[in-house]
Every structure is written in structure tokens, then in C-alpha cells.
Amino acid sequence: MQLVIGKEYKRTDLHAQFGGQQRGGISTPSGLALVLVFTGPMGNEFGYEDGYDDSGNFKYTGEGQIGDMSFVKGNRAIRDHSRDGKALHLFSTTRKAYVEYEGEFCCVDYEMFKSKDRTGAAREAIRFILAKVGDAGSSKSSTASFAPSPKGPNPTERQGLITSRVGQGRYRQELVKKFDGACAVTKIDLQEILIASHVVPWRDATDKERLDKHNGLLLSPVYDALFDKHLISFDGNGRIRVSSLLSASERSDLGISGEEKIALDEKMKPYMTRHLARLR
């Protein structure tokens, strides 16, 4: 069966061809290397927030209507589809029982955010970042052929998609755990805004260093920006060091007293030494 990007299909016809669960947003057909993902406005009432971002990636909220979301069933299938050798295809609801084919995507990251479940209770939800594979989605006339064992992106393409993002989901979650879900400096614990910041930048780090949790800090946006631009750093005792480029009034406006300190363990010190050497 050949599907055309931008064309509308009846969902029951898709399942008649490929199988898989006919209800819910994530379908995993038995015996096929496929993960079919369905999105639509009906999920808004359950705290789902789906859609394209400014970079062209699609943000997709995981499944689970009550309580915290976890990486089981469909959520695990999306997170691990590339590792499992399964191609992921995205469809968006157009009207009752009908969907539009968006193309093939690759899950390059995920993030946790605060939401409300079906009962209105606060919970932790999963948001997947899906990047378009190859030229899929670049033209409404594009087509994609489904075969019994379709291939996902090739290793080179997959690596390009994954490394196009500075922080990977699992890496970020390791930092969330390491810093008890709070900014290393301010202790603000609003995880939805906190950033997984590399000490030695991604571009300068080895493959091993890029995913080493000791090469990271969990920071609030202002401190992440200052740290990334080498306008602040931290010494071997974890005490803040501020660039001479920041005036006293600018420090005051930013709320920097000069007494800030982070918990710096021995495994982090070699990375921080390299960062401090580049303080402007």
C-alpha cells in the first residue's frame, strides 16, 4: 500500500491493511516493523499538547489519561522505535473516522512537563519530539510505501537526526535526578522550564562526554544563558565566578550576588575546570 503525504484516509482502512489497535493514539501492528501514531484535537481535554514547533519538529504527547505517564506500551514503542528497527508514521485527524498522512518521523528526544489528567489532577506527562525523516513531508505530493517490514532511517540519517539536538531526553532525565529536579543554582523546581546544560559544549565534547551526566547542570533559563555564553562559571569549590564583562548594575538586575554556589562532585570537576578556563 502506498500512502501520499497530505492525503486523507479512513482509519479503519489503515487497520484493515496493517492491523494494530484501532483506538487510541499509538498503534503497534503485530508482525510489522511499524509504529502508527495518531494525533488530533480530541486530546486537548486530557492535557495533550500536540503540534509542529518553529523548527519543523512535531511535538507529540504520550498516552495515558490518568496519573503520571510512564514508558510502557505505546510510549515505550515511540521512544525505542529506532532502536527496535521500527518505522514511525504520523497521521493527524481531519474529521470523524478520517486522518491525514503526515509522513515518516523519527523520535529524536522527549521531555517531561506538568499537565492535568482526565480527572483534573496534576501529573507528569511525556512529550515526544518527532523529526521528519528524509524528504518526507517536504512536499504534499510525496509518497511513502508501506511493506511488511519497512525500514526506518538509515544509520547515518538517524544519527544526524538524533545529534541535531543538544540534549537527549534520557540525558536530561539523568540530570533531573542528579539535581533533585531543581536548578543547580537557584533551586527552582519548575521542571518544565529547566534546561539540561552541558558544561563542556556538545560541539567540543567526545561522544562519551556528550551523554555523561557529570558533564551537565540543570539550570533555569537565565543561568543557562549566562553559563552557555561563559559569562558565569564555577570554581573547584562550586562557587560562582562572574565575567568582568557584566557590570555591577547588570549583576544586580540579574540577581547575582556573587555568593551563589552549586554542589560540585569530583566527577564534575574536570569538566568545570575546562569551562572556567573559558570565562570571558
CATH of the domain at 14: 2.30.280.20
Q: Are residues 179 and 149 in the same domain?
A: no
Q: Check whether residue 123 and residue 97 sit in a common domain.
A: yes
Residue bearing cell 519497512 = 150
For residue 253, give its domain range.
169-276
Q: CA 227 to CA 210: how far, in whole Å?
A: 17
Same domain assignment for residues 119 and 193: no
Answer yes or no: do 31 and 111 share one domain.
Answer: yes
Same domain, 47 and 144: yes
Mark whether 31 and 155 lie in a shared domain.
Answer: yes
Among the three residues 112, 131, 163, which one is the final residue of a domain in this structure?
Answer: 163
Q: Choose the final residue of a domain: 99, 129, 163.
A: 163
Q: Which of 133, 163, 193 is the last residue of a domain?
A: 163
- 35 and 148 in one domain? yes
Tell me which H or E stretch contains 206.
none
Q: How confident is the model at residue 164 (pLDDT cuts 50, 70, 90)?
A: very low
Which range scores top for mean pLDDT: 32-36, 121-125, 199-203?
Answer: 32-36
Q: Are residues 127 and 11 in the same domain?
A: yes
- Please indicate, yes or no, whether the overall pTM of this predicted structure exceeds 0.85: no
pLDDT-based confidence at residue 163 (cuts at 50, 70, 90)? very low
pLDDT at position 130 over 80: yes
Cα gap 149→138, rounded to integer Å: 24
Task: Determine contact, residues 4/136, Cβ cutoff 8 Å.
Answer: no
pLDDT at 2: 81
Q: Work out the average pLDDT over 246-271.
A: 95
* pLDDT given for residue 102 in this prediction: 95
Domain identity same for 93 and 186: no
Residues 121 and 12 in one domain: yes
pLDDT at residue 45 in the model: 56
- Look at the chain and report how many structural domains it folds into: 2
Residue 47 has a pLDDT of: 56
Between CA 83 and CA 152, with CA 209 as vertex, the angle to 5 degrees is 20
DSSP 101-168: EEEEEEEEEEEEEEEE-TTS-EEEEEEEEEEE-TTTTS-TT-EEE--SS-----HHHHHHHHHTSSS-
* Same domain flag for 199 and 98: no
